[in-house]
Amino acid sequence: GAGVSQSPRYKVTKRGQDVALRCDPISGHVSLYWYRQALGQGPEFLTYFNYEAQQDKSGLPNDRFSAERPEGSISTLTIQRTEQRDSAMYRCASTGAGETQYFGPGTRLLVL
């Protein structure tokens, strides 16, 4: 079956603009995670959903970052008033009945 998909794959935006990053998990996967990966580093946790419930948002850096998963499937990570320091790879992962996390291809965000 299809894996985790993310869109857009690349996003270039100007400082101050809002961006919305989309994640479509593997069909039937109830758990969904967002991570951020800076260049040369490992991914860092941002937030976690179980079905539509956001159960942990402790990794979101500040209140410009928000995420939702209204119907328990597709999720959107929104960054308001983007800053240059937000530039990174944003990764989404999902898990089903097991604990293996499957990652999407990521969205590479560049804020000019």
Partner 1 sequence: GIQVEQSPPDLILQEGANSTLRCNFSDSVNNLQWFHQNPWGQLINLFYIPSGTKQNGRLSATTVATERYSLLYISSSQTTDSGVYFCAVPSSGGYNKLIFGAGTRLAVHP
108 contacts partner 1 (rule: CB under 8 A): yes
**Nearest-approach distance from CB 48 to partner 1, in angstroms:** 6
Nearer to partner 1, 53 or 63 (CB): 53
The sign of the dihedral angle between the CA atoms of 101, 39, 90, 47 is positive
Nearer to partner 1, 9 or 15 (CB): 9
1 contacts partner 1 (rule: CB under 8 A): no
Query: Which positions ≥6 away from 76 have C-beta within 8 Å?
Result: 20, 21, 22, 23, 67, 68, 69
Contacts of partner 1 in 71-100 (CB under 8 A): 89, 91, 93, 95, 98-100
- Spatial contact of 29 and 93, defined as CB atoms under 8 Å apart: no
